[in-house]
Amino acid sequence: MPEHLEVPGGKGFASSPFGSVTLRWNGGLKSCMTSDGKEKRGHRRQGRSRRTLLLTAVLVIASQLGVGILLDRYPTKVRFMAAGAIVKALQRLSKPTDILFLGSSRFGNAVNTFELSRLIYLSCGDQTPLIVNAALPAADPYSMDFLLRFFVDHGIKPGVVVIEVSPETIKLAAAFQPVQVTRILTWKELPEAMSDLIEGRQYSRLMSSRLIPIFLYRKELL
């Protein structure tokens, strides 16, 4: 008689040198196959996860760079909105500006256009020129150059421009450089400005404005 051996969970048979041995293994084989399937599914899930993470990273980088390029092209929409506000105010005037003051908040506080106009009126009467103070916080020669070009592009051509100049705003790594990095610097101007930026060690602001503009200008974009 063949020797009979039962294995819980299944049935089958095998032979041995000592005689035929009947084995019951149905559950064991199924368990082995299930384990292999789970391992393959796990590898597939890991592959999908890696591809998803890679795609997400590519989309984030592309969106940051794309938004940065758009902000460079339209700087007064988000990065330098004060410039856009000045242009709108000048365009609403009844006649072209004759004398335009450009400078920082020091010019904004020190130049009293109303008093100037009053004093000039005593001598010139109806020929008194239109005087406008377009001073902005943290304005320096870099931002004033940007403003003048921006004004001309929008048809604003004052007869005389009075510009504030002070030693701390015309040197390398000037006092208001950190503001201009996030306000007017673009990819196109970056090579020319690099030596000045290195001198001022504006690495953090430069990286933020160039690589993560959506985060840096999140309040303005909302």
Residue 112 covered by a domain: yes
Q: What is the pLDDT of residue 160?
A: 95
Residue with tokens 């084995």: 23
What pLDDT does 118 receive?
94
**Domain contains 129:** yes
Overall number of domains in the chain: 1
pLDDT in tens, the chain (222 residues): 444 444 444 444 444 454 444 445 455 545 555 666 666 676 777 878 888 999 999 999 999 999 999 999 999 999 999 999 999 999 999 899 999 999 999 999 999 999 999 999 999 999 999 999 999 999 998 899 999 999 999 999 999 999 999 888 887 778 888 899 999 999 998 888 888 888 888 888 899 999 999 999 999 898
Q: What local confidence, expressed as pLDDT, does residue 34 receive?
A: 60
pLDDT for res 145: 92
In a domain, 98, yes or no: yes
Distance CA 97, CA 169 (A): 26
Rounded to whole angstroms, the Cα distance separating 195 from 191 reads 8
Q: Which domain holds residue 88?
A: 75-221
Residue 154: DSSP 8-state: T
Domain for residue 49, yes or no? no
Residue 168 lies in a domain: yes
In a domain, 198, yes or no: yes
CA dist list (Å): 52 to 14, 29, 38, 46, 58: 48, 35, 21, 10, 10
**101 within a domain of the structure (yes/no):** yes
Residue 199 lies in a domain: yes
Q: Return the closest-CA partner of residue 129 out of 157, 98, 155.
A: 98
Structure confidence at residue 3 (pLDDT) = 46
pLDDT of residue 20: 47
* Cβ pair 204, 177 in contact under 8 A: no
